[in-house]
């Protein structure tokens, strides 16, 4: 019987260890993080006492020591990590990445608006002109159907749409190849490659601003960033690492929520900082700042992020077999597991697809919505709204999950979140004043839980050795949905400016309400809501009883 258990563990390549034991370290090189720090960041209930199931792991037990793992060969300097420290490093990486993205995104888009605004209203190409004078709506633009302002919005939205499409089309193939191979080559490449590309991307943006190049040169950084996999590949790596470091069900849901929360922490200050940098120092300094932040994030990955996928026996090749990896992804939904499990997984994938379609593309449209009539916000006001929204969203994500988990399953929380986000979109679509627009923030409080909950549900439905393939499938869907939603919503926004400027947000709300019906179907298929994937350690327990 003991040999059966050993064989089962070897075949599945999983090891169950205590959360307090060390993840990627030998007894002599372990660095222990104080428990109070871990408790403050991760919470004691889910992360200090629950056992951790490691994927693709193998270990030897000797001298009475617990199962322990060494960092995979090839990790820089052979640095070792505990499970706590690995998550903390990932936490701080997310903070840096969130800070860079929340400054770079608004600044880059506002620079496009600035260039169009000076063409339509100022008739000058002086980039040293303060945005405070040019970013506000023209005095004659108080009429919601002002032709000049609408023409500016249409031209700007067209360029943003083409740039966004170029970016997402460029990343499609890379997402499939690099993401699905991460179960073999590891998670670190998913963070290293796009992190470095983000540094180069922002350097190019700074050069374009400095020399006042034609806006069409923005296609260069868009292609470069896209070919690295960009944010989608980084997100894939972060979620796969989190799945590697947490057990399924509520602990994994909270783990994913925590890394998303980490990305949202700096957005409060970053949204405001972006406007202050532009107003005070101009666009060049505002684009240089996130370049340094991205570089720090890259260094953090290069020096400290551990590899959670151990080197397989006999080594592995870096040659990518796209057919093999595509089969792994497709098989996950069409051939692996029982028919009921595949149906649940496909339904969950459809739910996250509709969710992506509803929320992706929102940011670009909403920025144009804020800058245009009837709000006519300047960069500082845009930053204030974004900062408050991010603060409420990040905080409510953790608090709402903690509280709702006492009384609700993940699918029920997801229903509440979808309805909350839909309500916020409807308010924004009908808003005619600043006060009404700000009212949408508390209305969407529970909606902050949508992303971690649906990702956790999907992750719990896949085996330990399929996490890379699963999150690659999600990343591919995410890319397609981003491409489709950006194009679709910008076209809707342009064509409905003369009807209702916010009609596009009501369309987004409609998709989220439809998603509630899909979640009810998923709950019926699961019978009791979220059914957690049976980990191999449970099978070992069954064998022991027999």
| 81 SS3 class | strand
Query: Can you give the pLDDT at residue 449?
Result: 92
Residue pLDDT, tens place only, 207-225: 999 999 999 999 999 999 9
| Residue 197, pLDDT score | 94
pLDDT score of 9: 38
Band (187; pLDDT cuts 50, 70, 90): confident
pLDDT for the residue 251: 77
Q: Is the pLDDT of residue 196 over 70?
A: yes
Average pLDDT over the chain, rounded to an integer: 76
Q: Is the pLDDT of residue 46 over 90?
A: no
Q: List, in sequence order, the alpha helices (H) in 339-466.
A: 339-359, 362-371, 379-404, 410-430, 434-443, 450-460
Query: Looking at the DSSP assignment, which residues form a beta bridge with residue 54?
Result: 15
Encode pLDDT of 279-319 as tens digits. 899 999 999 999 999 999 999 999 988 888 776 655 544 45
Tokens of 10: 């070897």
Rounded to an integer, what distance in angstroms lies between the CA atom of residue 163 and that of residue 487? 10
pLDDT at position 45 is 34
**pLDDT tens-digit profile of 414-456?**
999 999 999 999 999 999 889 999 999 999 999 999 999 998 8
What is the pLDDT at residue 545? 55
Confidence tier at 79 by pLDDT (50, 70, 90): very low
Q: 429 pairs with which residues across the strands?
A: none
The C-alpha angle 38, 298, 161, rounded to 5 degrees, equals 110
One DSSP character per residue, 118-146 reads IIIII----TTS-HHHHSSPPGGGGSTT-
Spatial contact of 52 and 16, defined as CB atoms under 8 Å apart: yes
CA angle centred on 16, ends 10 and 21, rounded to 5°: 130
Q: Mean pLDDT lowest for which of 70-79, 105-114, 258-267?
A: 70-79
Distance between CA 388 and CA 215 in Å, rounded? Answer: 31
Residue with tokens 């506000």: 136
Does the pLDDT value for residue 43 go beyond 50? no
CA distance 524 to 522: 5
Predicted confidence (pLDDT) at residue 85 exceeds the cutoff of 70: yes
Q: What's the pLDDT score for residue 521?
A: 93
Q: Quick one: CA dihedral 264, 268, 270, 274, positive or negative?
A: positive
Most confident of the ranges 260-269, 464-473, 515-524: 515-524
Least confident of 57-71, 329-343, 486-500: 57-71
Report the range of poorest mean pLDDT among 3-7, 46-50, 263-267, 489-493. Answer: 46-50
pLDDT at residue 276, as a whole number = 87
pLDDT at 28 over 60: no
Q: What is the rounded average pLDDT of the residues 313-335?
A: 68
**What sections of 29-82 are H helices per DSSP?**
35-42, 44-47
pLDDT band at 51 (very low <50, low <70, confident <90, very high): very low
pLDDT(475) > 90: no
Give 245's pLDDT tier (boundaries 50, 70, 90). confident
Give the separation between CA 297 and CA 292, rounded to whole angstroms: 9
Q: Give the residue among 422, 297, 313, 440 at the shortest CA–CA distance from 359.
A: 422
Q: Which domains does the chain have, with CATH numbers?
A: 82-122+144-309 (1.20.1250.20), 340-545 (1.20.1250.20)
**Is 174 in contact with 488 (CB distance < 8 Å)?**
no
Return the pLDDT at 157. Answer: 84
Lowest model confidence (mean pLDDT) among 197-201, 458-462, 491-495: 458-462
Residue 47 has pLDDT above 60, yes or no: no
The average pLDDT across 459-479 equals 82
Per-residue pLDDT reduced to its tens digit, 115-135: 988 888 765 444 333 343 344
At residue 534 the predicted structure's pLDDT band, cuts being 50, 70 and 90, is very low
For residue 172, give both structure tokens: 């499609």
Cβ–Cβ < 8 Å for 82, 30: yes
Give me the percent of the chain exceeding a pLDDT of 90.
32
Do 266 and 93 form a contact (C-beta atoms < 8 A)?
no
Average pLDDT on 332-347 reads 86
Asked whether residue 255 carries a pLDDT value surpassing 50, the answer given is yes
92: left (phi over 0), alpha (psi -120 to 50) or beta: alpha
Helix 379-404 vs helix 83-117: angle between axes, to the nearest 10 degrees? 150
Q: Is the pLDDT of residue 57 over 70?
A: no
Q: How far apart are CA 365 and CA 113, in angstroms?
A: 12
The pLDDT assigned to 123 comes to 54
- HEC per residue, 489-545: HHHHHHHCCCCCCCHHHHHHHHHHHHHHHHHHHHHHHHCCCCCCCCCHHHHHHHHHH
Q: Check pLDDT > 80 for residue 40.
A: no
CA distance 479 to 227: 12
How far is 315 from 211, CA to CA, in rounded Å? Answer: 48
């Amino acid at each position: 019987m003991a040999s059966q258990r050993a064989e089962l563990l070897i075949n599945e390549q999983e090891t169950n260890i205590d959360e307090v034991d060390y993840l990627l370290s030998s007894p002599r090189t372990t660095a222990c993080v104080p428990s109070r720090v871990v408790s403050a960041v991760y919470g004691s209930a889910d992360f200090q006492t629950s056992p951790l199931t490691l994927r693709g792991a193998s270990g030897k037990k000797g001298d009475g020591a617990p199962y322990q793992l060494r960092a995979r060969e090839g990790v820089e300097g052979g640095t070792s990590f505990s499970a706590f420290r690995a998550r903390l490093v990932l936490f701080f990486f997310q903070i840096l990445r969130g800070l860079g993205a929340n400054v770079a995104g608004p600044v880059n888009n506002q620079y496009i608006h600035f260039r169009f605004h000076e063409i339509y209203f100022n008739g000058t190409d002086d980039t040293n002109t303060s945005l405070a004078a040019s970013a506000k709506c023209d005095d004659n633009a108080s009429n919601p159907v002002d032709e000049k302002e609408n023409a500016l919005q249409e031209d700007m939205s067209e360029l943003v749409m083409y740039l966004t499409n170029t970016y997402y089309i460029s990343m499609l193939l890379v997402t499939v190849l690099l993401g699905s191979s991460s179960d073999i080559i590891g998670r670190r490449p998913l963070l290293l490659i796009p992190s470095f590309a983000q540094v180069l991307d922002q350097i190019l943006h700074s050069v374009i601003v400095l020399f006042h190049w034609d806006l069409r040169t923005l296609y260069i950084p868009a292609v470069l960033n896209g070919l690295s996999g960009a944010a989608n590949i980084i997100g894939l790596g972060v979620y796969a690492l989190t799945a590697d470091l947490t057990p399924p069900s509520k602990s994994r849901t909270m783990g994913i929520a925590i890394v998303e929360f980490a990305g949202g922490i700096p957005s409060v200050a970053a949204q405001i900082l972006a406007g202050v940098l532009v107003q005070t120092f101009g666009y060049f300094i505002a684009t240089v700042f996130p370049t340094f932040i991205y570089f720090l994030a890259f260094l953090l990955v290069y020096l400290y992020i551990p590899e959670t996928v151990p080197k397989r026996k006999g080594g592995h090749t870096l040659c990518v077999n796209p057919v093999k990896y595509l089969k792994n992804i497709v098989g996950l939904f069409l051939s692996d597991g029982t028919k009921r499990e595949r149906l649940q997984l496909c339904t969950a994938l459809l739910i996250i697809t509709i969710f992506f379609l509803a929320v992706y593309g929102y940011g670009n449209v909403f920025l144009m919505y804020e800058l245009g009539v009837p709000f006519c916000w300047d960069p500082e006001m845009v930053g204030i709204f974004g900062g408050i929204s991010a603060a409420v969203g990040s905080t409510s994500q953790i608090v709402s999950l903690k509280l709702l988990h006492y009384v609700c399953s993940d699918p029920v929380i997801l229903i509440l979140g979808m309805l909350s986000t839909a309500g916020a979109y409807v308010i924004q679509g009908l808003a005619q004043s600043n006060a009404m627009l700000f009212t949408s923030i508390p209305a969407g409080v529970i909606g902050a839980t949508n992303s971690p909950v649906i990702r956790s549900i999907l992750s719990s439905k896949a085996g330990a050795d399929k996490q890379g393939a699963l999150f690659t499938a999600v990343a591919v869907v995410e890319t397609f949905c981003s491409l489709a939603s950006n194009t679709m919503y910008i076209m809707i926004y342009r064509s409905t400016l003369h009807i209702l400027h916010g009609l596009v947000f009501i369309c987004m709300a409609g998709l989220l309400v439809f998603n509630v019906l899909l979640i009810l179907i998923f709950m019926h298929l699961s019978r009791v809501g979220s059914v957690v994937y049976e980990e191999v350690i449970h099978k070992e327990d069954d064998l022991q009883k027999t």
